[in-house]
Structure 1
Amino acid sequence: MATAAAMVGVLAPAAGADPLPGGLGPCLGSSCPPSWNDPNNGPVEYFDSNINVYVGGDFLVREAAAEAEGKVVTLGRFDMDKRDGVSQIYNVGIAGVGSRVPPPDGSDYLTAGGDVTIAEGERLLAEEGTHSGRVAYAGDLTGTVEPATAPRFDEDAAAPYTELRPQLTEASHCYAYDGDEHREATGTWVKTGDLMTFTGDGSSAIQIFDVDADLESEAGGNTGFVFNGIPEGATVLVNVYGSTRSVATFMGSFPNEGLRENLLWNFPDATDLSMTGPAQFEGSVLVGQPTSTTVLSMSGTNGRFYTAGSLTHTSSGTSGGQEIHAYPFDGDLPTCTPEPTPTPTEPTP
C-alpha cells in the first residue's frame, strides 16, 4: 500500500522556526537539482555537498546491506562484514538506484573518525563509471577500497563534524520536549489494523505529532502511513517517544510532491531502535541519544539519516539490497537556540 497524504489549507506562520543544527538538512553546493525524483537509475546530473548519513558512534555494515548514498560521516569506525553468498560490495556516496545525487567528484564520500575495516574478499566502492570520491579515515585501513585513489588518511578527518553530535542530541530533545513535558502536538494519530493515520490541524506551519508507541500495525507487523490535514509546504515533525522503539512498514511513496523533503521522524529517547520493512521509508530520521544503537534493515530509506549514536545497516532473513538514499530535509523546526540575554547598559543622559 502506498502512503497517502492530503495537503489542505493555508499556512499559519510559525511562532519560531529554525533549520536543523550545523547546516544539516538541505542540499548544498552550486549543483543541486531543481527538484528531486523518486528513486531511479538515471544518469548523474546533480551533486550535493551536505551530509546525508551522520553517525555519532560506529557504522557497521552486516548481512546483505547494499549501499549508502550521499555524503557519509561516522565519528567512530566503519566496519563492513557481510554474510557469505550475497554481493560482497557496499557502495558509499553513489548508488545504482536512488536520488542519483551523489557528493561532488573528488570529495569525501565517506569520513570515518576511527578505523575503516573491510572484511577479506569484500569491497567498499566509492565510484561509479566516471564519478568517484574519497574515503577519509583517522585510524587504520584494512581491506579493499575502490578506486585505489579513494583512501585518504587524515588524523583529523572527523574533527569538523564532532560538534554536530551534541548539537543533534540537544535538537532532538528540544523538538520533542518543552521543559520536562512533551512538546504540544498540533495533530492527532490513530492506529487501525495495519494503517497509522496522522491528521494535522490544517493550518500550522509545523505540524507536530506525539507518538508514544511503536510505528507498526496493531498486531505488531508492518504498517502503512497516511497524512491528512497537512498544509502545502508545512513541516511534519513526528516525535516518537520511548527508550525502545520499533518501526515496521510497507509504506511506498507520497503522492504529494514535497512532503518527503519536509518530514522528520524524531526519536529523542530511544537507545534501542529497530527499523524494518519491505518498502521505502519516506522522510528524514533523527536519533538523539549518543548511547543509542539503531539497527536498520528496511529495504530503503529516502531522506537524511542522522543519529548521535551507532548504526548497523543490515538485512533481515534472506532479503538483501538494503539501501539508504540521499534526499534533503528542507523543513523548518521549533526554535531551540536560547534567546541571547541583552547586556545591561547605562541609560543615556
Structure 2
Amino acid sequence: MRMSAAAVLGGSLVLGLAAPVAHATPTAPAVCTDVFGVAGGYGEFVLGDDVHAPDAEGAVAVGGNADFGRGFSVGNELTESEVAALPGRAALVVRGDLVSGSAVTAVMKGDAVVGGEVKGRAVELHAGTFRKKADLIDFDGEFAKLRAYSAALAEEPATEGTTVTTEGSKLTLTGSDTTRNVFSVTAGRLEAAKEIYLKVPAGATTVVNVSGTDYDMAKAGTTGFLLSGGGSYVLDDKLQSAADGAVRARLLWNFPEARTVTKSSKAAWPGSVLAPRAHLELGTAAPVNGSVWVASLHGSGGAETHHFPFSGCLPETGVTPPAPKVPSGAPGTTPPAADTPPSTPAETTPAAAPSAGTPSHSAAPDSPAPEASSTPVAGGDLASTGSDGMVPLAIGAAAVLAGGTGLVLAARRRANRS
C-alpha cells in the first residue's frame, strides 16, 4: 500500500503542475450570501411598532407593539420549508404587546410568539401553537446588522453600463450585466416619476441605492412600476410580472439614510425594501410585492405585503465589510456606536487569502491571475512567445517527478529489508 500511495502522489503532483498549461483559468461562479440572516425569513421585519391591516402573506416579526385591531392575517403563502426555517417556527413574533381588540389575528401557518400581553381576542392559530416569549429574536442586534449592511451597500458603485434617464415624468433604469446591476438615484428624482421602468437581464440581481432622508412616492402619484427581463415591459402586480417574477424576486430598494418612506396607494411596489432607519407608510391600497425591513410600519386596506421573498445575490459587505469599501471612521459609512453590530470573528480577524480552487467573488477584478509571460519576447514568433514561463514549469515538474520516483524506490528498499 505504501508503494501505491507514493506512486500516486508523484504522478498527481506532476499532473497538477502541468494542468494549468493546457487549461485557461475558469471564471469563478457568482457567490450568494444570506446577508439578511434572521430578517430574511420575514416578509415584514419591523424594529418598532407595526400597525397594519388586513394581511401579510409571509411571516411577520415586530420588535415593538403590534396593533392588528382591524383584523390581520399572517403567513398564508408560506411553505412548510419556509416555516421550518423560522426561529422557533414562529410566523408571527411580537416582542411587545399584541393589540387585537375585537378583531381576529389569524396565523395561518406556523406558531405565534408574543412577549407582552395580548389585548383583545386571542390569536387564532390554524397550524401552530401560541407561546409567551420576549427574546426569541434579538431585534436590536439584527437591526444593527441591517443598518450596517445598508450603509455599506450604498457605497457600492453603480455598475458599469447602467443608465438612469428621465423623460418628463418617466424614469427608466437600464442595466445589462447578467449577474448584478447596481443603480444610484436620489430620492427626489425617484419620487418625481409617475412611472418607473426597470430593464435588466432576467435572473440578474438589481440593487437601487436611493439617497436622501425622505422618499414620498405619493408626491408625484406614482402609478406603476414596469419591469422587463429583456422582453416587453410588464406592469407589475401580484398576478403578473416580467420574466415570471424573476426580475422582482431579485430586486432590492436600499434606503440607508431614509427616516420616512411613503408608498403611493396607486402603485404596487415590486421588489424588497431595505430601509432600516425609516418609518414605512404603506398607505391604504396597493401592495409591496416583496419583503420590507423597516423601523416602523403603518398600512391598511389593500396595502399588504405579498409573499415574494428576495432571492438575489448581494455583495459580501456591510456587517463584515472589506476595508477598502467601508474604512473605519469614514463619514457616512460607519454607523454610530449604538448602531454597530456585535463583533464577530470575521470582523476582528483579517480575512485570509482564498485557497487555491476556492471561488472568490471579489478576487477576479481586484487581483487578476498573472499571465505566463507579459513581456514580449524578441522576435515575437509563436515558438518563442511565452517560452520563458514554460522553463520553470518544466523544471518544477521534473523535480516533482524525481521526488515521486525517490519515494517509490525508498518504499521498495524498506519492503525488501522487511
Would the TM-score normalized by the shorter structure come out above 0.5? yes
Q: Does 1:234 align with 2:204?
A: yes
SS of the aligned residue for 1:163 comes to helix
Task: Select the residue among 315, 340, 343 that pairs with 1:334.
Answer: 315
Q: Does 1:110 align with 2:92?
A: yes
Q: Name the residue aligned to 2:56.
A: 68
Q: Flag the 1:212–1:185 CA change in 2: closer, same or farther, 3 A.
A: farther
SS of the aligned residue for 2:305 comes to strand
Matches of residues 165-176 of structure 1 in structure 2 within 5 Å? 165-176=143-154
8 Å CA contact 1:262–1:331 kept in 2: the answer is yes
Measure, in 2, the Cα distance between the counterparts of 1:197 and 1:78: 37
Q: Name the residue aligned to 2:259.
A: 271
Structure 1 residue 146: Cα displacement: 3.8
Task: Select the residue among 155, 172, 175 that pairs with 1:177.
Answer: 155
Q: Name the residue aligned to 2:134.
A: 155
Equivalenced residues, count: 271
Q: Name the residue aligned to 2:229.
A: none
Aligned residue type for 2:131: R
Measure, in 2, the Cα distance between the counterparts of 1:177 and 1:321: 34
Q: Does 1:21 align with 2:36?
A: yes
Q: Flag the 1:176–1:14 CA change in 2: closer, same or farther, 3 A.
A: farther
Could you state the TM-score of these two structures normalised by the residue count of structure 2? 0.58
Q: Name the residue aligned to 2:114.
A: 137
Structure 1 residue 163: Cα displacement: 2.2
Q: Name the residue aligned to 2:343.
A: none
Measure, in 2, the Cα distance between the counterparts of 1:324 and 1:273: 15
Tell me, which stretches of 5 or more residues in structure 2 are unaligned?
A: 1-26, 226-234, 323-348, 353-418
Q: Flag the 1:338–1:278 CA change in 2: closer, same or farther, 3 A.
A: closer
Matches of residues 1-349 of structure 1 in structure 2 within 5 Å? 18-22=33-37, 24-25=39-40, 50-61=41-52, 65-82=53-70, 89-94=71-76, 101=79, 104=83, 107-119=89-101, 121-127=102-108, 132-147=109-124, 150-159=129-138, 161-177=139-155, 183-186=157-160, 187-200=162-175, 202-203=176-177, 205-214=179-188, 215-218=190-193, 223-228=194-199, 230-247=200-217, 248-251=222-225, 252-253=235-236, 254-257=241-244, 258-289=246-277, 292-297=278-283, 298-307=285-294, 309-314=295-300, 320-336=301-317, 337-339=320-322, 340-341=349-350
Tell me, which stretches of 5 or more residues in structure 1 are unaligned?
A: 1-11, 26-49, 83-88, 315-319, 344-349
Aligned residue type for 2:308: Y
8 Å CA contact 1:78–1:116 kept in 2: the answer is yes
Could you state the TM-score of these two structures normalised by the residue count of structure 1? 0.69
8 Å CA contact 1:90–1:123 kept in 2: the answer is yes
Range with greater deviation from structure 2 (298-307 or 234-243): 298-307
8 Å CA contact 2:291–2:308 kept in 1: the answer is yes
Structure 1 residue 110: Cα displacement: 0.8
Range with greater deviation from structure 2 (148-157 or 280-289): 148-157
Give 1 or 2: higher helix fraction.
2
Higher relative contact order (CA 8 A, sep 6+): 1
Bigger-Rg structure (1/2) = 2
8 Å CA contact 1:185–1:210 kept in 2: the answer is no
Measure, in 1, the Cα distance between the counterparts of 2:303 and 2:158: 35
**Deviation sequence 1:172-193 (CA, Å, 0-9, x none):** 1111126xxxx34542212334
Compute the RMSD of aligned alpha carbons.
Answer: 2.8
Q: Flag the 1:59–1:342 CA change in 2: closer, same or farther, 3 A.
A: closer
8 Å CA contact 1:234–1:262 kept in 2: the answer is yes
